Structure 1
């Protein structure tokens, strides 16, 4: 039985992750798959009770989680006005990424209803691609520093790190994903010229995938084309910061961060899923947070665990909710988080029953 560690974290993570777990449990009961969930209390709520947001030995906790559980379902970290910066789940999240070396950040961009995109004339068939963000290097590697801070002579240095290992493995994973999912083109974001590591390694890796078209595109042109012609993209690969920016732009194309799941993994160490909308402290506690991104994280989780068919039912339930207007205010609806979750639970039961009735 697959076991999942559940860490809601901060802010609306404490609302949308339990909602998603409810829907997953309803799906498991309706389809006969078995899932085991165990909740961990890390973040601002723990800090307010105990004075610590995470255990002192958080590295050991993370390593034990990776050994004990098949995956981790994380909610959100940071931005809680009630606690100091160290009072959030951010340390857990950073330890998770660093200690498990989770170099793949997978962000699907899939339009589920044409009414949700701001792009004129684009439909569901036009917006369906995946952004792969290298998750451990680049400008976020922590190199550099500040000298003479607060003076007129202040110097701020932030260095960008790229290694052959880091670039090769994210490119290879993206090409393998394209082949595995029936996609035929991989687009690599770069702007370093012919001698750049990303371009050279893209060409090297592409030789092992003659069935996949490989192309490189300058990052500014790629962002421009994502808005004008999203239908031309299937798989996009980018270094850490560019992937961060492109994946948020992609979220705007398909309806917003409230519909944006992500999966971070290293095939050798483990994975976690996370809705990318953050903690949303302005609406936390009001029961109006959109649970769709968290539920779609459930789809990514099930696909990772080998239950792709069951995961599709989660996406279908979200589509059904959007079609009939069972949405939270950010998508123009009037439902609460609980009401949307109730609808999704019933929808997955109905969809599972329909799937059982169809001969295979």
Structure 2
């Protein structure tokens, strides 16, 4: 197979973990006789240094001429967030990518690896015999992030408003995606909203209920977002596929990230209605550890595995990477973020060596 992948390392630890993932890409090429053209592009602070903007046209061109995008991370140190280089960096890069390619949904798995149950913050009794394996589907193009934002003063009182909007088409897209995904798993969808208060959530619940009739083998349940947040930590094994709006999905997916024990383990993917997708780790750029060869590359590596499976339909190849990660963890190898005894942690490149040895 011949395919083209846009490689956007970005900032912070992005270039480091992307470098290790490219080693995995080359191994898959050689082992399974594929050829992947890797076209690199600048984004975020790295792009600003070279082009004076966070998402240059050259990078957009690279992405448009690819079969999938493999993204690293963007953003700089918190204390420098108001500097010219870093101001609105995430908004101008990752949100711009979503808007340009109309990425309407984000899929983020949250799984507790048996080998890493000791770093999960939950008790064994909460994890249960069946373990935790959740997939969160988050709508990306609607809700409060894309409505009107306004700050103003009336009668010397400072005020602000952010408007949340949804239409039925936006909701239908993620509804269908969630039910199709559930059919490949445990046939259960939990739709999360705030229908007791918000009209957007009432519409959300109505559309999910209507779409569910097209998938009679899949069980649909509705859950209020505040209850869902609590259930994550008292009974997370009840969830299979969880679908929710942009704002709630942003918060809940980060909350779910605590369950495996590290963001360094969590891949994600964003899709548009045509099936074109961007794959990225769920964590940020972590500038405080950049350049130290201690970042966990597993989330970036598993993002590539998702790319192989979802965009290229190379199931055996993706499974070989996922199994190699499991084997590496089962053998006891750990980066600092997932190692209880920090003195025994290995480096970014060393854990990649181990994963490569198991492919």
Structures share fold, TM-score greater than 0.5: yes
CA contact (8 A) 1:71 1:271 kept: yes
The CA deviation at 1:87 is: 8.5
Q: What are the Cα deviations for residues 11-69 of structure 1, in whole angstroms up to 9, with x where unaligned?
A: 111111121121122122123233221211233234335544442x36xx52x445421
Structure 1 match to 2:7: 6
Residue in structure 2 matched with residue 136 of structure 1 by the alignment: 141
Task: Name 2:218's counterpart in structure 1.
Answer: 212
CA contact (8 A) 1:7 1:41 kept: yes
1:202 corresponds in structure 2 to 208
1:120 to 120, 123, 134: 123
- Flag the 1:252–1:109 CA change in 2: closer, same or farther, 3 A: same
Contact kept? 1:43, 1:87, Cα under 8 Å: no
Contact 2:10 2:42 in 1 (8 A): yes
Q: Give the superposed CA RMSD.
A: 2.2
* Separation in 1, partners of 2:119, 2:225: 25
CA shift for structure 1 position 134:
0.5
SS at structure 1 position matched to 2:171:
helix
Contact 1:27 1:345 in 2 (8 A): no
For residue 224 of structure 1, the aligned residue among 203, 221, 230 is: 230
Given that residues 39 and 62 in structure 2 are in contact (C-alpha distance below 8 angstroms), is that contact kept between their aligned partners in structure 1?
no
Aligned to 1:190: 193
| Alignment partner, residue 352 of structure 2 | 341
How far apart are residue 123 of structure 1 and its match? 5.6
1:78–1:90: 8 Å Cα contact kept in structure 2? Answer: no
Q: Quick one: distance in 1 between partners of 2:356 and 2:69?
A: 21
1:148 deviation in Å?
Answer: 3.3
How many angstroms does 1:301 deviate by? 0.5
Which consecutive unaligned segments of at least 5 residues does structure 2 have? none
What's the CA shift string for 1:236-279, capped at 9, x where partnerless? 00101111111111111112211111100113162100101101
**Aligned residues, how many?**
342
Gaps in structure 1 of 5+ consecutive residues: 349-360
2:325 counterpart of 1:318 = yes
The answer as to 2:246 corresponding to 1:240 is yes
Counterpart CA distance in 2 for 1:307 and 1:87 is 36
The answer to whether 1:31 aligns with 2:37 is: no
Match of 1:68 among 56, 59, 65: 65
SS of 1:154's partner is: strand
Over 3 Å counting, the alpha-carbon distance change for 1:124 and 1:140 in structure 2 is: farther
Query: Is the CA contact (8 Å cut-off) linking 1:47 and 1:87 kept in structure 2?
Result: no
Q: Name the structure 2 match of 1:41.
A: 42
**Residue in structure 2 matched with residue 308 of structure 1 by the alignment:** 315
Q: Structure 2 CA distance, aligned partners of 1:87 and 1:152?
A: 28
SS for the counterpart of 1:5 is strand
Deviations 1:146-176 (CA, angstroms, capped at 9, x unpaired): 1139x96211111111111111111111111
| Residues 272-281 or 330-339, more deviating | 330-339
CA separation in 1, counterparts of 2:258 and 2:131?
Answer: 14
Q: Is the 8 A contact 1:9 1:88 kept in 2?
A: no
Deviations 1:176-212 (A, max 9, x none): 1212x13211000012149710111111001101000
Q: Aligned equivalents of 2:327 and 2:96: distance in 1?
A: 37
Show the counterpart of 2:259: 253
> Structure 1 CA distance, aligned partners of 2:35 and 2:273?
22
Distance 2:181 2:212 in 1: 13
Q: Residue 253 of structure 1 aligns to a residue in which SS? A: coil
CA contact (8 A) 1:54 1:89 kept: no
- 1:92-103 matches, within 5 Å, as 92-103=93-104
1: distance between equivalents of 2:40 and 2:178?
A: 31
User: Which residue, out of 142, 153, 171, partners 2:157?
Assistant: 153
TM-score by length of 2: 0.89
Q: 1:340–1:244: structure 2 CA closer, same or farther, 3 Å change rule? A: same
What is the TM-score with the length of structure 1 in the denominator?
0.88
Moved more, 64-73 or 295-304: 64-73
CA contact (8 A) 1:108 1:131 kept: yes
SS of 1:21's partner is: helix
